[in-house]
Amino acid sequence: MSFINYASREINLKIVYYGPGLCGKTTNLQYIYQRTAPEAKGKMISLATETERTLFFDFLPLSLGEIKGFKTRFHLYTVPGQVFYDASRKLILKGVDGVVFVADSQADRLDANVESLENLRDNLEEYGYQLEKLPYVIQYNKRDLPNVTPVEELSRLLNPGKVPEFSACAPKGEGVFDTLKAVAKLMLISLKKNEK
Amino acid sequence: MLGSQSSLVLFDEEFSNITSILEKLLVEANAKALFLVDKDGQLISSTGETDQMDTTSLASLTAGNIAATGGLAKLLGEKEFSVLFHEGEKDNLHLSLVASRVILVVIFDQRSSLGLVRLRVRKWNEELEKIFNSLEKKAKEKGAGNQSFFAEITDEDIDNLFR
Ligand SMILES: Nc1nc2c(ncn2[C@@H]2O[C@H](COP(=O)(O)OP(=O)(O)OP(=O)(O)O)[C@@H](O)[C@H]2O)c(=O)[nH]1
Ligand SMILES: [Mg+2]
């Protein structure tokens, strides 16, 4: 749920990175954090286990610039991908303005992707949201690994609605900013539509 | 509650009313700092000794904390836990829900006490609820009142953000 503050002239928007365990959600945020100028970012918070798996969420606030005199801030969150953290995952989705689904391209993670996407739909529905109606993009991550499913096949399986999709290698940053820009753009366009 | 897709919109009038309530509460409760945070983790307003604090992180973690506790409440068949208290060696944290949708955070030390904070929060909570309830009405009536602003956003504006 966006937050528009006329008094301080700010717009706040919440983006959630969703996807199966180890698909690279946290890595996306880490790369964005590393490559963003100090004045445009806040502290990155990671609530993680000792083995660096996300336990509750990662959080990264970005403030990219102004639109018509309004500071535009994006709050990026990741969910914990491991199946048994579903209760926490659901909580993070509350009030979401835009979703990035990060898929793991490795062939043996195909089922995990499909399951996670279904889980995303279910959890959104509990809040009365529909994935199709939200600003939403897909990222096919880990394209650098040898045993990956072809993008065409991933797209057929995971992206029937043909939302914007990006190939990525998150640790090297490939596709990371393209993904973020695409979802941010969809969110701002949707604000514009909703308010008309 | 606001509809799931609607935004929280804050106008100058309510913002200054909220801020003046927070300032009174700060003095009456002898608190160190006060924050008002949206349940989704966005900071609405703050007052007191906030210079050394990372207010954005504080807002996000507070919302996470309330969300997790709310999840626990549901598991136990409670609607929500409306007050949380965390005790530290020096500073203490008192969290309470306002109108079920915003979180009032009070940070206090030995200059105050839990009893005093609780009393003063209860006193001002109603005033804050009134403001948020009227905001909700206003947003509905005006259709958020920001047509002109968002309709004027161009594709170029959006692209410029990412230069
Ligand atoms: N080779 C390769 N490794 C990647 C890529 N993206 C992420 N990884 C690695 O995959 C592992 C898991 O990445 P994370 O970003 O922690 O995964 P996550 O999605 O946050 O996982 P959870 O927090 O458990 O949901 C890390 O060791 C990353 O370095 C990629 O594109 N290629
Ligand atoms: Mg993670």
Q: Where are the domains of chain A?
A: 3-195
Ligand 1 pocket mutation pick from A17, A18, A22, A119 by most atoms within 8 angstroms of CB: A22
| Amino acid B148: pLDDT | 54
Q: What letter represents residue A111's amino acid?
A: D
Chain B positions touching A75 (Cβ under 8 A) are 41-42, 60
Chain B positions touching A189 (Cβ under 8 A) are 158
Ligand 1 atom showing the smallest separation from residue A141 Cα: 31
Contact B60 A194 (CB under 8 A): no
Q: Check if the beta carbon of residue A15 is closer than 8 Å to that of residue A96.
A: yes
Could you report the average pLDDT of every consecutive run of 10 residues in chain B (163 residues)? Answer: 55 91 97 94 92 90 91 90 91 94 95 96 94 83 57 77 74
CA of A52 to the centre of ligand 2 (A): 7
A61 has a pLDDT exceeding 90: yes
- Per-residue pLDDT band at A195 (split at 50, 70, 90): low
Chain A positions touching B39 (Cβ under 8 A) are 94-95
Count how many Cα atoms sit within 13 Å of the Cα of residue B110 in the half-sphere of its side chain: 2
Mean pLDDT of A40-46: 92
CA of A25 to the centre of ligand 2 (A): 5
CA of B25 to the centre of ligand 1 (A): 46
Taking chain B, what is the end-to-end CA distance rounded to the nearest angstrom? 38
| Amino acid B130: pLDDT | 93
**Separation in Å, CA of B118 to nearest CA in chain A:** 27
Q: Check if the beta carbon of residue A162 is closer than 8 Å to that of residue A187.
A: no
Q: B-contacting residues of A 12-41, CB under 8 Å? A: 12, 14
| Amino acid B110: pLDDT | 95
As given in the structure block, the two tokens for residue A163 are 């939302």
Q: What letter represents residue A41's amino acid?
A: K
Q: What letter represents residue B74's amino acid?
A: K
Q: According to CATH, what is the number of the domain B12-161?
A: 3.30.450.30
| Amino acid A2: pLDDT | 80
A195/B contact by beta carbon, under 8 A: yes
User: How many C-beta neighbours within 10 Å does residue A63 have?
Assistant: 18
Name which residue sits closest to atom 21 of ligand 1, judged by CA: A22
Cβ-count burial of A71 within 10 angstroms (0-12 exposed, 13-18 middle, 19+ buried)? middle
**Global confidence as pTM:** 0.90
Residue ranges of alpha helices (H) inside chain A are 25-34, 86-93, 110-126, 151-158, 176-195
| Amino acid A107: pLDDT | 97
User: How many C-beta neighbours within 10 Å does residue A173 have?
Assistant: 17
Mean pLDDT of A40-45: 92
At the topology level, CATH places domain A3-195 in Rossmann fold (3.40.50)
Which helix H or strand E contains A64, and what residues bound it? strand A54-67
Q: Residue with structure tokens 């199709």?
A: A132
Contact A185 B146 (CB under 8 A): no
Q: Where are the domains of chain B?
A: 12-161
For the complex shown, is ipTM > 0.95?
A: no
Q: What letter represents residue A170's amino acid?
A: A
**Separation in Å, CA of B157 to nearest CA in chain A:** 6
| Phi, psi values for residue A29, rounded to 5° | -65, -40
pLDDT > 90: percent of chain A:
82
C-alpha triplet B117, B119, B121: angle, nearest 5°: 65
CA of B112 to the centre of ligand 1 (A): 46
Contact A91 B64 (CB under 8 A): yes
Q: Check if the beta carbon of residue B111 is closer than 8 Å to that of residue B117.
A: no
**Separation in Å, CA of A142 to nearest CA in chain B:** 24
Q: Residue with structure tokens 């514009």?
A: A192
Name which residue sits closest to atom 27 of ligand 1, judged by CA: A22
| Protein residues within 5 Å, CB atom, of ion ligand 2 | A 25-26, 54
Mean pLDDT of A147-164: 97
Mean pLDDT of A164-191: 95
Mean pLDDT of A131-150: 97
CA dist., res. A11 & res. B149, Å (int): 12
| Amino acid B11: pLDDT | 85
Contact B162 A181 (CB under 8 A): yes
pLDDT in tens, A81-139: 999 899 999 999 999 999 999 999 999 999 999 999 999 999 999 999 999 999 999 99
